[in-house]
Amino acid sequence: MTNQPAAIGTSARRHDAAAKVTGGARYTTDVRLPGMLHAKVLRSPHAHARLRSIDATRARALAGVHAVLTREELAGLSPTYGYFVKDQPVVAMDKVRYVGDVVAAVAAEDEAVALRALELIDVVYEPLPDVPDVTAALAEDAPELFEEAPPGIVPPYGTGASGHLRPRRNVCYEFRYATGPADVWQECDHVFEDTFAFSRMNHFHLEPFVTVADVRGEQIEIWSSTQNPFPLRKELARVLRVDENRIRVHVPYVGGGFGAKHNCKTEPIAILLSRMAGRPVRYCLTTEEGFLTLSQHAAVLKVKTGVKADGTFVARESEVLLDAGAYSDGSPLVAEKAAYRMPGPYRWTHVKSSCACVMTTTTPAGPFRGFGATQSTWASESQVDMIARRLGMDPYELRIKNLKRLGEPFVPGESGIDSDLAEGLDTVAGELGYHRRARTPNRGMGLAIGFKDGGGVNKPAQARVKVTANGAVYVNSGTVEIGQGASTTLCQVAAEVLGVPLEQVAYAPINTDVTPFDQGTNASSGMTVMGRAVLRAAEAVRAQVLEFAARQLGCEATALTLENWAVRRGDEAPIPLPGLIMKVFGGTGYEFSGEGFFKAPNSPEAPLDAPCVFWEIGWAGAEVEVDPDTGKVTVLQLVASGDVGKAINKLVCRGQDEGAAVMGLGQALFEEMRYDGSALLNGEALDYRVPMAEDLPERFVSVTQEQGHGPGPFGAKGAGEGAMVPVAAAIANAVHDATGVRVTALPLSPERVFNALHRH
């Protein structure tokens, strides 16, 4: 690794760049198998109804129809699934619970025939009262979505002493956490109580939910657009009651997921239809159906904060209600995170948090980029600004005063903060010109710090690196290339360790039969968890190669260096490895292969079972102009920044931060799944407003901080979520700065801002 240019810290071209810009990249949507059928599903028109009867006789008789799946065909299976609570049926069993709930599925020669067949399925519903929101759901006489406890309820991970399931009406899970003495409330000079509303976004991944399934005899083979192939395999094996190794999961490129593509989505239906039809089945949702499949959690967040007269933070208690929608999906874990992260990056004497997942007759909610931290940061960072203004302090100063120091633990038993929070805030404030700003009517600036534990909890990762006799390197890992660039950056880690050019390292496609086990592509864990497994695998191979060469050369491995697939002893000329290897192994060679494993240690002291892998911190600063006549917020400047510890690939980090910031911008200004009762009003691409190129701020800056304290390879931290989390609060804080008016609900639409201005 002496003369070889570094493989990390560059802006190396992504491995997937050429294929993606030329249209050659293959996604699950592109998979075509001979004889492949197409699936469509019948969805409930009712928000809540008992399923009296279902008769698919006419559909089955339609020419071109090869299989119809209704609840009858689920006999003998474990027909419900869920990340923690197994409450979502493959197709409706006794009831439907939201408009769009899946009632039946058809596989036919083409989608048109399948759609026609759906019209021939006769369903008799008995409508029941709906439960459109958390208030309705928690009412004493609210209708119950689940009359019996869903099957297979399991607590989330580990012993989770602080979290627990509560048999409350329409609550699938509740999490509580407290630390420090509650009597410090008496020492507070001021106590502020505020309530915030958080809107529900759609994930809006450009590649829809899609699975191609091919069941042949006992072998189930799927290509699926999923973030978590191994957990998916396990859940499918449970549902289908087969051994895991009868299910082969291939994951081609994935066109975005943002948390949505975990656990069962299109997979069970595609598999069951293929098994029934004896032909491959493609089941691809439309964008509209995506809105009916999973969303972010809307939330109501009550925050009570006690401070000293000088602004010192003392105590914070919070209660969060997440709208989990009709099925629990990943809600319990999101609830834990939303509550746990509510203290934010500040020093408190006492903290108490709770969060309940409330079931409503709306689209199920689940994991979403930010994973609860978006909700908690929205409330926390809005309130920090409100408190500063109430105390007559500058919000920047109030933050600086209370921020934790580098290395200070978050709560007892937790990892210490691994970013210099003040340095990050100064970077963003400086870039924004926060301290030099002139007061201009209707213009204002705001700051915010997004705060989440990153890298997942209790998340093991296994990786393999193998190298041919000629020095061609493969990285085998279950981390999905979902657009984040992991298929390049993980190769950079291996290239650096092995001293070969990045071009010589390839990232293998994922197939659960042969790819090393991984928990999934989520929680910004690609570099801090899988990256460490890849690092260890590459180091294992490096050690093997050096030991092999040392044996051949009759020296110690420590006397050798590895560079460009040659070994070198001191200043001697490099000895190419291919010749050495072929001499020993003959024929067509050999491959060195090393495995690496990483898992953050468990800890009984840590509130969530294990200290977090790293802290994913995002800072945002915004300057806005508010039109008082229309309420329209124009973002003049947006500065977003994440601390990536060490950028393995600068361009990839920038791409992650910019993408995250724009998603935050959408959350701040435009995006919201709007309901009329239980009926979704804007569940299609034309009506649902995502940010477009023209919505970008006039000045849009992303700053990749490399503070160097990360636990990943070469000091790296994770990226991808941090820069999204604080954006909405920074913009709301800027609107407050511009207008003196606080908007406590998202998005900051002209209508909402106008109303706030004129209530004022």
Rounded Cα–Cα distance for residues 683 and 533 (Å): 40
Rounded Cα–Cα distance for residues 533 and 541 (Å): 12
| Residue 464: closest CA among 544, 376, 350, 567 | 544
Those residues whose C-beta lies under 8 Å from the C-beta of residue 629, and which sit 6 or more positions away, are none
Nearest residue (CB) to a second copy, 597 versus 754:
597
Q: How far is the CB of 496 from a second copy (least distance, A)?
A: 17
Q: How far is the CB of 41 from a second copy (least distance, A)?
A: 24
Rounded Cα–Cα distance for residues 145 and 168 (Å): 12
Nearest residue (CB) to a second copy, 514 versus 692:
514
Nearest residue (CB) to a second copy, 565 versus 615:
565
Rounded Cα–Cα distance for residues 50 and 33 (Å): 38
Q: How far is the CB of 460 from a second copy (least distance, A)?
A: 5
Strands of the sheet containing 210-216, edge to edge, are 65-69, 102-108, 37-43, 281-284, 210-216, 219-224, 247-251, 510-511
Q: How far is the CB of 245 from a second copy (least distance, A)?
A: 4
Q: How far is the CB of 522 from a second copy (least distance, A)?
A: 11
Nearest residue (CB) to a second copy, 48 versus 459:
459
Binding site for a second copy (CB under 8 A): 18-19, 22, 24-26, 30, 32-34, 157-158, 216-219, 228, 230-231, 234, 237, 243-246, 248, 456-460, 462, 464, 466, 468, 470, 472-474, 476, 503-506, 508-509, 511, 513-517, 519-520, 584-591, 593, 595, 599, 602, 609
Q: Which residue, chain included where needed, has tokens 């509510």?
A: 342
Nearest residue (CB) to a second copy, 244 versus 627:
244
| Residue 34: closest CA among 216, 252, 269, 207 | 216
- The sign of the dihedral angle between the CA atoms of 486, 519, 258, 455 is negative
Peptide bond into 691 cis (omega under 30): no
Residue 582 sits at φ, ψ, to 5 deg, of -65, -30
Q: How far is the CB of 612 from a second copy (least distance, A)?
A: 14
Q: What angle do CA 366, 371, 375 make, to 5 degrees?
A: 100
Compute and round to an integer the Cα radius of gyration of the chain. 27
Give me the helices (H) in 189-255, please.
Answer: 229-240
Q: How far is the CB of 266 from a second copy (least distance, A)?
A: 19
Nearest residue (CB) to a second copy, 158 versus 708:
158
Q: How far is the CB of 74 from a second copy (least distance, A)?
A: 22
Rounded Cα–Cα distance for residues 712 and 717 (Å): 6
Nearest residue (CB) to a second copy, 529 versus 546:
529
Cβ burial, residue 271 (10 Å; 0-12/13-18/19+):
buried
Q: How far is the CB of 369 from a second copy (least distance, A)?
A: 20
Nearest residue (CB) to a second copy, 576 versus 677:
576
Rounded Cα–Cα distance for residues 633 and 695 (Å): 11
Nearest residue (CB) to a second copy, 244 versus 423:
244
Nearest residue (CB) to a second copy, 191 versus 584:
584
Q: How far is the CB of 294 from a second copy (least distance, A)?
A: 19
Q: And the tokens for 196? A: 């915030």
